[in-house]
């Protein structure tokens, strides 16, 4: 297989380690999340040059509501600020925003901002998919219900009803911070994805780290169950 055919078109990231980053620097957790947004921004700016067509980021899981109210508020406020400040750049750079998860359950002002951002970026070329109020088991249950309603439950009909139905197949999943688990992220889509668990805390993760993972991916032999 040539390196070109091994290019990762769809990369997903579990951005873990904001809290530990802040703790190591004796800063409040909120600073870790804030620095995490900076890492997001740098990565989004760099992916086009790396040939990535879709970057999917796990920003807020359906389990993250269990965190203290103050931290949930911080994360929601960061989301508001991020959309507001970076939307013009998405439009200018032809980035299509997509949201996966049960995001319509978020605060009404965030839902309105996202609806507007989705509309304004709908013609973009490369996709930034952000998982918000996302849980993979919930996504699969919702997709299974829709497939069942059509009377035809197969792997294909279920896939076609997932939130990611219009995205390329997932090539590479990266989790930062050294933890080795999926935490209810893209469980179905990971069936044949390559995985990298990187020992770098999310706020310290740079485009150079991503490029190293892409180089590593290019050399992996993917068999999809064959030999
Ligand atoms: C995990 O770190 C990170 C999160 C739960 C949230 C990720 C969110 C961001 C990077 C910022 C918002 C994103 C966007 C797109 C605006 P943790 O707090 O679990 O870290 P820890 O395990 O070290 O405590």
pLDDT tens digit sequence for 91-106: 999 999 999 999 999 9
CA atoms within 13 A on the CB side of 137: 5
- Of the pLDDT bands very low, low, confident and very high (cuts 50, 70, 90), residue 6 is confident
Per-residue pLDDT reduced to its tens digit, 180-220:
999 999 999 999 999 999 999 999 999 999 999 999 999 88
Q: Find the mean pLDDT for residues 144-167.
A: 96
Residue 227's pLDDT is 72
Helix, strand or coil, per DSSP, at residue 196: strand
Would you tell me how many other CB atoms lie within 10 Å of the CB of residue 79? 20
The arithmetic mean of pLDDT across residues 111-138, rounded, is: 98
Q: How far is the CA of 150 from the centre of ligand 1 (A)?
A: 37
What's the whole-number average pLDDT of the chain? 95
Give dist(CA 125, CA 75) in Å, integer. 28
Q: Which atom of ligand 1 sits closest to the CA of residue 201?
A: 23
| Neighbouring residues of 212: CB distance < 8 A, sequence distance ≥ 6 | none
Nearest to 44 by CA among 93, 112, 109, 99: 93
Residue nearest to atom 10 of ligand 1 (CA): 36
Furthest-apart CA pair in the chain: how many Å? 55
Instruction: Tell me if the domain spanning 4-218 has CATH number 3.30.70.100.
Output: no
Q: Are 131 and 101 in contact (CB under 8 A)?
A: yes
- CA atoms of 12 and 57, how far apart (whole Å): 6
At residue 5, the pLDDT reads 54
Question: Which atom of ligand 1 lies closest to the CA of 130?
Answer: 15
- Please give the distance, rounded to the nearest whole angstrom, from the Cα atom of residue 2 to the centre of ligand 1: 36
Distance between Cα 36 and ligand 1 center (Å): 7
Tell how far the Cα of 110 is from the centroid of ligand 1, in angstroms. Answer: 18
Tell me the pLDDT band of 144, cut-offs 50, 70 and 90: very high
Q: Express each pLDDT in 48-57 by its tens digit.
A: 899 999 999 9
- Provide φ and ψ at 128, rounded to 5°: -110, 110
Residues with CB under 6 A from ligand 1: 15-20, 33, 36-37, 40, 57, 59, 64, 78-79, 82, 130, 202
For the chain, the structural domain boundaries read 4-218
- The residues assigned a catalytic role are 16, 64
Picking from 23, 34, 33, 25, the residue whose alpha carbon sits closest to that of residue 67 is: 33
- Specify the ligand 1 atom closest to the Cα of 203: 10
Ligand 1 pocket test target in 59, 66, 78, 85 with most atoms within 8 Å of CB: 59
Q: What is the DSSP string of 83-110?
A: HHHHHHHHHHTTEEEEEESSGGGS-HHH
Q: Give the per-residue pLDDT at 182.
A: 98
95 Cα: distance to centroid of ligand 1 (angstroms)? 22
Angstrom distance (rounded) from CA 85 to CA 62: 25
| Angle between the N-to-C axes of helices 69-92 and 108-120, in degrees from 0 to 180, rounded to the nearest 10 | 20
């Amino acid at each position: 297989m040539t390196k070109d055919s091994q290019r990762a078109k769809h990369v997903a990231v579990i951005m873990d380690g904001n809290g530990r980053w802040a703790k190591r620097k004796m800063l409040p957790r909120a600073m870790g999340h804030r620095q995490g947004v900076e890492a997001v921004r740098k990565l989004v700016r760099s992916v086009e040059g790396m040939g990535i067509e879709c970057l999917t980021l796990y920003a807020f899981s359906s389990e993250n509501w269990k965190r203290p109210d103050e931290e949930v508020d911080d994360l929601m406020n960061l989301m508001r600020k991020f959309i507001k400040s970076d939307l013009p750049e998405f439009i200018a750079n032809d980035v299509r925003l997509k949201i996966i998860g049960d995001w319509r359950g978020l605060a009404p002002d965030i839902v309105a901002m996202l609806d507007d951002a989705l509309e304004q970026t709908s013609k973009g070329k490369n996709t930034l998919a952000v998982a918000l109020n996302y849980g993979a088991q919930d996504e699969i249950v919702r997709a299974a219900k829709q497939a069942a309603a059509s009377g035809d439950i197969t792997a294909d009909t279920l896939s076609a009803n997932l939130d990611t139905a219009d995205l390329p197949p997932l090539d590479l999943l990266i989790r930062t911070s050294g933890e080795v688990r999926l935490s209810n992220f893209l469980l179905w889509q990971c069936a044949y994805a390559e995985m990298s668990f990187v020992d770098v805390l999310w706020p310290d993760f740079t485009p150079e780290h991503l490029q190293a993972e892409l180089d590593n991916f290019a050399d992996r032999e993917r068999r999809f169950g064959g030999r």
